């Protein structure tokens, strides 16, 4: 098993859910974690918490992944000790709305495409050249079951996750001949703030998504990300499709009555 001790790990979307759990598991294993998201106060609270739990270095990087110039300037101005990113966890992402395509809100589409596809690309484009130059690095993208199976009214969100899958595959191909690794971790239902964001704060509707089943936890996903990151250097886990035992497809969910 590869040690992540003292490796520099950038986690986008570290202020909540899967990204937060990833930040925690890597910090606990002694990695130096860059916590990135838009909500600085959340990152600050997380940093305080992680400092108490683990004795590792943390760096807060406020960044909106949809803002290309901000991504470039934030990543280019990382201090010397933090500049050489070893593991990039492209996790920042969201869904907005659940509508028939022909009734969808175009602003919602723009936000999902800008965040889930273009944001991931901007960060990747800024970080990977340094990894190639140094001859070391691992990019772990958080895709989704939605990138494997489209579900009714999921249209554009699912499309963004199909894109993440294609981008992960393409990046792996383009890095052939280097020691760099690329992984896509693609979960089904995970209970986070995802549905609250999708339904713009409607807690009841959000809770309904997970009602009667045992969903994955952010920690389950972080555990899988960590597993992928800690395989020996000659092993590349390309793709992990994971879902709750109570789920067997995007629209196949067992709920206790």
Using CB under 6 A as the binding rule, whether residue 189 contacts ligand NDP is answered as yes
Consecutive H or E run containing 242: strand 239-242
Residue 64 binds: one of ligand 8X3, ligand NDP, none (C-beta under 5 to 8 A by kind): ligand NDP
Residues that bind ligand 8X3 (CB under 6 A): 144-146, 154, 188-189, 250
- Give the residue among 154, 149, 150, 227 at the shortest CA–CA distance from 185: 227
Using CB under 6 A as the binding rule, whether residue 64 contacts ligand NDP is answered as yes
Candidate list 5, 39, 133, 134; residue touching ligand NDP; CB under 6 A? 39
Candidate list 18, 31, 163, 182; residue touching ligand NDP; CB under 6 A? 18
Using CB under 6 A as the binding rule, whether residue 93 contacts ligand NDP is answered as yes
What are residue 12's DSSP bridge partners? Answer: 36
The burial of 209, by beta-carbon neighbours within 10 Å (0-12 exposed, 13-18 middle, 19 or more buried), is given as middle
Residue 115 binds: one of ligand 8X3, ligand NDP, none (C-beta under 5 to 8 A by kind): ligand NDP
Catalytic: which of 59, 102, 151, 157?
157
Only one of the segments 17-25, 127-135, 170-178, 225-233 lies at the binding site for ligand NDP (rule: CB under 6 A); that segment is 17-25
Neighbour-count burial for 71-90, b at 16+ CB within 10 Å, e otherwise: beebbeebeeebebbbbbbb
Residue 71 binds: one of ligand NDP, ligand 8X3, none (C-beta under 5 to 8 A by kind): none
- Give the residue among 31, 27, 20, 159 at the shortest CA–CA distance from 84: 31
Give catalytic status of residue 122 as yes or no.
Answer: no
* 8 A C-beta contact, residue 126 and residue 103: no
Question: Residues in contact with ligand NDP, total (CB under 6 A)?
Answer: 30
Cα(94)–Cα(253) distance, integer angstroms: 21
Q: How many residues does the chain have?
A: 257
Contacts with 87 (C-beta within 8 Å, 6 or more apart), sequence order: 4, 7, 8, 9, 10, 26, 31, 137, 138, 139, 140, 229
Candidate list 74, 91, 168, 247; residue touching ligand NDP; CB under 6 A? 91
Strand, helix or coil for residue 91: coil
Only one of the segments 59-67, 75-83, 174-182, 231-239 lies at the binding site for ligand NDP (rule: CB under 6 A); that segment is 59-67
> C-beta of 97: minimal distance to ligand 8X3 in Å?
12
Candidate list 8, 19, 124, 131; residue touching ligand NDP; CB under 6 A? 19
> C-beta of 86: minimal distance to ligand 8X3 in Å?
26
* 8 A C-beta contact, residue 122 and residue 114: no
* 8 A C-beta contact, residue 141 and residue 120: yes
What are residue 59's DSSP bridge partners? Answer: 34
Cβ-proximal residue to ligand 8X3, closest one: 144
Binding site for ligand NDP (CB under 6 A): 12-13, 15-19, 37-39, 42, 64-66, 91-94, 115, 119, 142, 144, 187, 189-190, 192-194, 197, 218
């Amino acid at each position: 098993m590869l040690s992540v001790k003292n490796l520099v790990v950038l986690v986008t979307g570290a202020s909540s859910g899967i990204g937060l759990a990833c930040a925690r598991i890597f910090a606990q294993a002694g990695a130096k974690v860059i916590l990135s998201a838009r909500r600085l106060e959340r990152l600050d609270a997380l940093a305080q918490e992680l400092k108490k739990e683990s004795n590792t270095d943390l760096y807060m990087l406020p960044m909106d992944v949809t803002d290309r110039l901000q991504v470039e300037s934030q990543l280019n101005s990382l201090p010397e000790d933090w500049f050489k990113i070893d593991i990039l966890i492209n996790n920042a992402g969201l869904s907005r709305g659940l509508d028939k395509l022909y009734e969808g809100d175009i602003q919602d589409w723009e936000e999902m495409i800008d965040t889930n596809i273009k944001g991931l690309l901007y960060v990747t484009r800024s970080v990977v050249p340094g990894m190639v130059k140094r001859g070391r690095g691992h990019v772990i993208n958080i895709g989704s079951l939605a990138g494997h199976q489209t579900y009714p009214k999921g249209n554009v969100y699912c499309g963004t996750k199909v894109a993440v899958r294609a981008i992960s595959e393409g990046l792996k191909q383009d890095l052939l001949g280097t020691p760099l690794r690329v992984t896509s971790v693609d979960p089904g239902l995970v209970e986070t703030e995802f549905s609250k964001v999708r339904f713009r704060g409607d807690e009841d509707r959000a809770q309904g998504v997970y009602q009667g089943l045992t969903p994955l936890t952010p920690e389950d996903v972080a555990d899988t990300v960590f597993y992928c990151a800690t395989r020996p250097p000659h092993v590349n886990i390309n793709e992990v499709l994971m879902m709750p035992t109570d789920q067997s497809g995007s629209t196949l969910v067992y709920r206790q009555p």
